[in-house]
Amino acid sequence: MAIERGNFSTRIGFILAAAGSAVGLGNIWKFPFEVGEGGGAAFVVMYLAFCFILCFPVLVAEIAIGRKTQKNAVGAFAALGFKNWSVIGYLGLVSGVLILSFYNVVAAWAFGYFVEMVTGNFGIGNEFGEFTSDWITVGLYSIIFMSATAFIVAKGVSGGIERAAKILMPTLFVMILCLIVYALTLPNAFDGVKFYLVPDFSKITGDVVYSALGQAFFSLSLGMGALITYGSYVSKNDNIVKSAAQITLVDVGVAVLAGFMIFPLVFSQGIQTDGGPGLIFVTLPGVFESLGSMLGVVVGSLFFLLLSFAALTSTISLLEVPTAYMVDEHKIKRSKATWIVALIIFAAGVPSMLSYGAVESLGQFVKLPGIENPLPFLDFVGLIANDTFLPLGGFLISVFTAYIWKKENFNAELASGDSSIKGSWLQTYVDIAISYICPVILGIIFLVTVLDNFLGIKILSLILG
């Protein structure tokens, strides 16, 4: 029985949807505190370089594999004639499911904070632990968020994912720009801009380099099959390289704009920039309170609504990966497949939901040799899926594209959308990067993660003395 897969109806729809997959909590929640802990502008420079040097070629490869095969992340490798390499697709599928299982919880926190800001409860920042331990409330918000995600994905590629991207992404940019304009009017705001834009390269260490590499790869949603899946819905006439460049620019642009929003707010209140994840959920509500009750409600509500929108653009793509697998490989109708997968992933996310205060044993789930304190279940899943599986997936995709599928076949697929790419300097760079730069660097990231966290061997410290 043939099942209708659907396609993106416009090129801009694909770019916005793929960029939406990349744009998420990683850009607005994770990027600013990574910049703060990485010393500011020097981290930003390295992050931007890695996005284009390392991530862009892998992004091109994933889209090309998807478009060539018109298949999901698992079926694509078999369709190319390399069924044994479907392990890459399964790795991406598992990664996406695991990430969505805890990502939905963090998205629920963001949506819950939006509700609290609307009601003027600025004290929620001091009650973060109480909020996350209230599993009934967080569970309700998680159900709402997962249901919204499933509703959109069930509507199909053009009618659901593309239509939502065309609304969510422009709205996201407008909200960010509004918050930036306001933040720049605050006292000491330009001290934050200076911290963000003027690099001090003396602050670059091995750990900062490693963090910038990891953040670049994480923020572009690579290695989890999302871009292979979205690529399978792309027209054969589309210029893959150009689209990949635009997707990278949109993703990087949102991350950079997030810094212009966060650091003026932070510096206006004299707050430390290295506050970690708590910078968003613990510190910023107090910043919004200092703006006055009426203005604080407006700015605070807008900020956490922005965070919720960013999360939704990512949860859509994360849910689409297993949904497409069910549609392609098991011939289940899209609507049915979507809600079945959404229910399973929500259930898988319950331990993550309970690990931040509700159940003590899940809050101290595992003690790893390379990490000082026991990890909550949510953090452990993030370490496995984000920090370990994604770079491994990217490494395998690079090796597969260059040495198994072969560069000539890869380049032929790129040229089918735009013959001018053939023999260009850009094609030459992508070939070199996918053959040598990406496998080496992503392989190092994977090995460092395993040795550092799971075995307690601080390889960077040993190398750098």
Q: Please give the chain's pLDDT, 465 residues, in tens.
A: 556 678 999 999 999 999 888 887 777 767 777 787 777 888 888 888 889 888 999 999 999 999 999 999 999 999 999 999 999 999 999 999 999 999 999 999 999 999 999 999 999 988 999 999 999 999 999 999 999 999 999 999 999 999 999 999 999 889 889 989 988 998 889 988 888 888 877 777 777 887 888 788 777 878 899 999 999 999 888 899 999 999 999 988 888 888 888 888 888 877 766 555 566 888 788 888 988 889 999 999 999 998 899 899 999 999 999 999 999 999 999 999 999 999 999 999 999 999 999 999 999 999 999 898 999 999 999 999 988 999 999 999 999 999 999 999 999 999 988 888 888 888 899 999 999 999 998 998 899 889 999 988 877 666 654
**Residue 397 identity (one-letter amino acid):** I
Q: What is the pLDDT of residue 127?
A: 92
The reported pLDDT for the residue numbered 23 is 81
Rounded distance between C-alpha atoms, residue 109 and residue 114, angstroms: 9
Tell me the three state secondary structure of residue 361.
helix
DSSP letters for 193-228: HHHHHS--GGG--HHHHHHHHHHHHHHTTTTSSHHH
> Whole-structure pTM over 0.95, yes or no?
no
Q: Is the Cβ–Cβ distance between 264 and 193 less than 8 Å?
A: yes
Confirm whether 464 is domain-assigned.
no
**CATH code at 207?**
1.10.4160.10
Q: Is residue 447 part of a domain?
A: no
Task: Say if 456 falls within a structural domain.
Answer: no
454 in any annotated domain: no
- Confirm if 448 and 206 have CB atoms less than 8 A apart: no
Residue 356 lies in a domain: no
Please give the pLDDT value at position 2.
Answer: 53
Domain presence at residue 376: no
Examine residue 267 and state whether it is found in any structural domain, yes or no. yes
Domain count, the chain: 1
Token pair in block for residue 330: 């098991």
Task: Tell me whether residue 358 is in a domain.
Answer: no
pLDDT of res. 465: 47
Determine the pLDDT at residue 426: 87
- Boundaries of domain holding 148: 11-349+391-438
CA-based Rg of the chain, rounded to a whole angstrom?
21
Q: What are the helix (H) ranges across 155-292?
A: 163-183, 189-197, 206-219, 226-231, 240-268, 278, 284-289
- DSSP symbols for 124-145: GGGGHHHHHH-HHHHHHHHHHH
Q: How far apart are CA 380 and CA 25, in angstroms?
A: 18
